[in-house]
Amino acid sequence: MKKIIVAVAGNPNSGKTTIFNMLTGAHQHVGNYPGVTVEKKEGLCRYKDCEMTVVDLPGTYSLTAYSVEELVARNFIVDQHPDVVVDVIDASNIERNLYLATQFIEMDMPLVLAFNMSDIAERKGLVFDIEHLSRLLEAAIVPTVGNKGKGRIELLDAIIEAARRPRRGRAHQVYYGTEIEDEIGRIEKIVAEKAKQLAQKYGARWVALKLLEQDVEVTAKISSSEVQDAVRVSIGHLRTIFAEEPETVIADRRYGFISGACQETIKTTVESRHSASDTIDAVLINNILGLPIFLLLMYLVFVLTFKIGKYPMGWLEMFFDWLSVSISAFWPTGSESWLKSLLIDGAIGGVGGVLVFLPNILILFLAIAVLEDSGYMARAAFVMDHVMHKIGLHGKSFIPMLIGFGCSVPAIMGTRILENRRNRLTTIMVIPLMSCGARLTIYGLIIPAFFPENLRGPVLWLIYLIGIVLAIVCIKILRLTVLRGETIPFVMELPPYRMPTLTSVCIHMWQRGWMYLRKAGTIILGASVVLWAAMSYPKPASDVLANLGPEQAHRVRLEHSVVGRLGKAIEPVLKPLGFDWKIGTALIGATVAKELFVAQLAIVYAAGRADQGSQTLREKLQQNYTPLTGFCIMLFCLIYAPCVATVAMTRQETNSWAWALFQFFGLTALAYVVTLITYQVGSLLVS
Amino acid sequence: MELTKLRPLSAVEAGRTVKLAGIEAGQGLRSRLLAMGLVPNVEITVVTSGGPGPFVVNVKGTKMALGRGMAHKIMVV
């Protein structure tokens, strides 16, 4: 069996993913390109006597070095030498889409063009002379309809044919006009002589062209001063001739090459001026209606995720309860097996606690996939951009932040819709400040304990508001310091609206869901076990426990454990915030999952299980703390260290422990400062 | 002749079609715009103008949203 590598490239919105799905079906593997936060999708496809590894390159308009995605795509081509590049072209918008193809032509890659959504092009009245166009571009052209699976066999045949054909160089290159060609020729010669390695790897003509375009990456690779001088002279020369940057002229010539090829081969039979998309846009991005419609849709997504997700979540909870009970049935009642405790309190408690969110995550990603595939996501960014721009973020950042009110984990995964790394990192860093569902359980315990009926609503609202205000402040600070850089000017394509297909939406949803599952089985399982051990060991001597009831015994055990001791050790640090060691212990435990705070507090107060005993727990809290301390607990819980799942997710999505730890400690420091000020000022005012 | 006067895209009202004369932007942004089809002399039709938000234009059959700051930097005739 012959093994070949096929790279799938294309513009954003060209239906590239549908072609990738069509080729690989469900056999996909999602990961990241090493060192960057660009999603890498790979799949296998067997056809005839070939085994194809199909790699989905990031969607790009070009192959410059100005965005991570483009650089990733370019480096993949240069370093991995795929046997064939399939460039997915939106057949209803050939000219713009062929721009990327010209760059594969420049790199002399065996190229297959998939004229995707050819049904839409046909409806638009476009008629192609495919044979002729194929000859002009020296690439096989296959009409496809990715979301209906049309053209699969033809595309596979074309790929195999392209891989088999010996590489013999192209008959005609993109011609840039005499003036530029002269300079290319001049630099090409010097490059071939002075930068042999580079010329061998990339081809001298391509290097020369990139140098004239002032490509930062290629320019940085040139150490020979002769090449540098020659390039400088050439660029200066071209600037005087054209009164434009050479790059602009080169881009113009590429478009010239394309329209030359298209003029003879593409005909429009119907003149359509106003499309359905324009009509829909008149409503959806309307100056007055746009924002309310967006907010309404977001509200719907939110409700869907957490209201409908509640039911399967309940079933999963029931399942894990049943699992705990069944497992503990293996031991005689009252036995103190460490294995039992590890399985039930550690593994099931930890992983189960995270897995119950799977339905929410699946629904959320289903909704996002529908919004993305339909073309609405681009409009959402458009509508929110004005507001988000003021705090230095892209309009799209709003969506993951909103999701953060449900759970930080899917929210951080949701930042994948942001293309710009700086934007994405900033958004990820502040997502934990959006009060998630788990923290609501803490507020639910504290607020009724310390605040009268009529103040409860406003206090809860205040806590959420503080989170939002702090997020805005943090974004501002991050954008001025570590994540400085000009706000990316807003340029975005508004793709035509399309009906999302069930398969592509489901594949999207499943890929993300699977990543979540895999993480629950690895990082979260590990962390849960570590925390379980820290909460269970060392054990007090058995004679100490002899005369205690089960609840007291529980408390003594926790006090004796690493976590209990840690809680006591940090008491002096927490004192200025008005917290004692009991709160400290609960705070440490809550880093696994914030809802554990309540359970932990219940244990230290020996108040039995949180759900049954919250009334007594509240009474105990009232006896021990002031409303100010209560408020400070909520404040601290709102801001401090994100839970283990969030840390793991941040690590995965940013591909760096540094960012995850920065978030962890940064937020904890922020929590400390804010709570300290609140408590100290509050104490002064109260006394 | 009003049509031959150089002006920023942001000054063009909705419904008008103009020609691109130049982009006053850094290299990164320029190359992005070039790739999206904003080459010299290309026809730009303004779809939505006015309001505080981005600007919607049609270039080579593609609808694009541009930030208002961007629309100031694109010079057209």
Return d(Cα A389, Cα A403) in angstroms, integer: 19
Higher pLDDT, A398 or A22: A22
Identify the DSSP state of A436: -
Q: Are A478 and A426 in contact (CB under 8 A)?
A: yes
pLDDT higher than threshold 80 for residue B38: yes
Closest CA of chain B from A100, distance in Å: 8
Q: Are A535 and A562 in contact (CB under 8 A)?
A: yes
Q: Do A491 and B29 count as a contact with CB atoms less than 8 A apart?
A: yes
Q: Looking at the structure, do residues A234 and A308 belong to the same domain, yes or no? A: no
The helices-and-strands tally (H runs, E runs) of chain A is 36, 10
Q: Looking at the structure, do residues A561 and A598 belong to the same domain, yes or no? A: yes
Nearest CA in chain A to B41: A252
pLDDT higher than threshold 70 for residue A519: no
Return d(Cα A370, Cα A149) in angstroms, integer: 19
Among B6, B19, B27, B31, the strongest candidate for a mutation testing the A interface, having the largest count of A CBs within 10 A, is: B31
What does the domain layout of chain B look like in residue ranges? 7-76
- What is the dihedral angle through the alpha carbons of A232, A233, A234, A236, rounded to the nearest 10 degrees? 80
So what's the pLDDT on residue A573? Answer: 93
Return d(Cα A215, Cα A198) in angstroms, integer: 14
Q: Looking at the structure, do residues A65 and A152 belong to the same domain, yes or no? A: yes
Query: Token digits for A335?
Result: 């036995």
The pTM of this model reads 0.76
Query: Token digits for A270?
Result: 């119907």
Q: Do A95 and B51 count as a contact with CB atoms less than 8 A apart?
A: no
Confidence of residue A535 (pLDDT cuts 50, 70, 90): confident
So what's the pLDDT on residue A673? Answer: 96
A79 within a domain of the structure (yes/no):
yes
Closest CA of chain B from A527, distance in Å: 42
A416 within a domain of the structure (yes/no):
yes
Return d(Cα A571, Cα A597) in angstroms, integer: 16
Q: Do B63 and A493 count as a contact with CB atoms less than 8 A apart?
A: yes
Using a CB-CB distance cutoff of 8 angstroms, which residues of chain A are in contact with residue B60?
A: 93, 95-96
Query: Token digits for B33?
Result: 């715009």
Using a CB-CB distance cutoff of 8 angstroms, which residues of chain A are in contact with residue B52?
A: 386
Nearest CA in chain B to A386: B53
pLDDT higher than threshold 80 for residue A592: no
Most distant pair of Cα atoms in chain B: their distance: 34
Return d(Cα A600, Cα A256) in angstroms, integer: 69
A202 within a domain of the structure (yes/no):
yes
> E strand or H helix at B56, and its extent?
strand B55-59
Q: Which of A213-222, A412-421, A659-668 has the highest mean pLDDT?
A: A659-668
Q: Do A248 and B69 count as a contact with CB atoms less than 8 A apart?
A: no
A491 within a domain of the structure (yes/no):
no
Nearest to residue A659, comparing CAs of A478, A513, A406, A528? A478
Q: Looking at the structure, do residues A473 and A580 belong to the same domain, yes or no? A: no
So what's the pLDDT on residue A552? Answer: 76
So what's the pLDDT on residue B1? Answer: 45
Task: Report the DSSP pairing between strands A84-90 and A2-10.
Answer: parallel
Confidence of residue A609 (pLDDT cuts 50, 70, 90): very low
Q: Rounded to whole angstroms, what are the CA distances from A561 to A361, A540, A564, A607?
A: 34, 8, 5, 18
The residue whose two tokens read 């594969």 is: A104
Q: Do B60 and A96 count as a contact with CB atoms less than 8 A apart?
A: yes
Q: Looking at the structure, do residues A27 and A136 belong to the same domain, yes or no? A: yes
Identify the DSSP state of B58: E
A287 within a domain of the structure (yes/no):
no
Return d(Cα A540, Cα A518) in angstroms, integer: 36
So what's the pLDDT on residue A608? Answer: 44
Q: Looking at the structure, do residues A145 and A220 belong to the same domain, yes or no? A: no
**Total domain count, chain A:** 4
Q: Do B67 and A214 count as a contact with CB atoms less than 8 A apart?
A: no
Neighbours of A406 (CB within 10 A): 23
Most distant pair of Cα atoms in chain A: their distance: 98
SS3 category, A54:
strand
Higher pLDDT, A605 or B30: B30
Nearest to residue A245, comparing CAs of A234, A230, A260, A256? A234
Query: Token digits for A36?
Result: 């960057």
Q: Are A169 and A108 in contact (CB under 8 A)?
A: yes
Non-local (6+) Cβ contacts of A350 within 8 A are: A524, A525, A527, A528, A529, A531, A532, A592, A593
Q: Looking at the structure, do residues A672 and A579 belong to the same domain, yes or no? A: yes
Q: Looking at the structure, do residues A196 and A87 belong to the same domain, yes or no? A: no
A650: containing domain: 530-686
Non-local (6+) Cβ contacts of B37 within 8 A are: A95, A96, A99, A255, B59, B60, B62
Q: Do B67 and A287 count as a contact with CB atoms less than 8 A apart?
A: no
Neighbours of A635 (CB within 10 A): 22
Query: Token digits for A457?
Result: 């609503």
Return d(Cα A618, Cα A665) in angstroms, integer: 30
Return d(Cα A346, Cα A527) in angstroms, integer: 9
A285 within a domain of the structure (yes/no):
no
Q: Looking at the structure, do residues A23 and A99 belong to the same domain, yes or no? A: yes
Helix axes A94-106, A246-265, angle to 10 degrees: 120
Q: State the average pLDDT for chain A.
A: 84
Among A63, A69, A96, the strongest candidate for a mutation testing the B interface, having the largest count of B CBs within 10 A, is: A96
- pLDDT tens, position by position, A4-40: 999 999 998 888 888 998 998 867 776 666 655 567 7
Q: Which CATH number is associated with domain B7-76?
A: 2.30.30.90
- pLDDT tens, position by position, A344-365: 777 777 677 667 778 877 887 7
Q: Are A488 and A394 in contact (CB under 8 A)?
A: yes
Using a CB-CB distance cutoff of 8 angstroms, which residues of chain B are in contact with residue A255?
A: 37, 39, 42
Q: For position A28, which CATH number holds?
A: 3.40.50.300
- pLDDT tens, position by position, A266-290: 887 765 556 778 888 888 888 788 8
Q: Looking at the structure, do residues A347 and A479 belong to the same domain, yes or no? A: yes
**A45, β-bridge pairs:** A52
Size of interface A-B (CB pairs under 8 A): 118
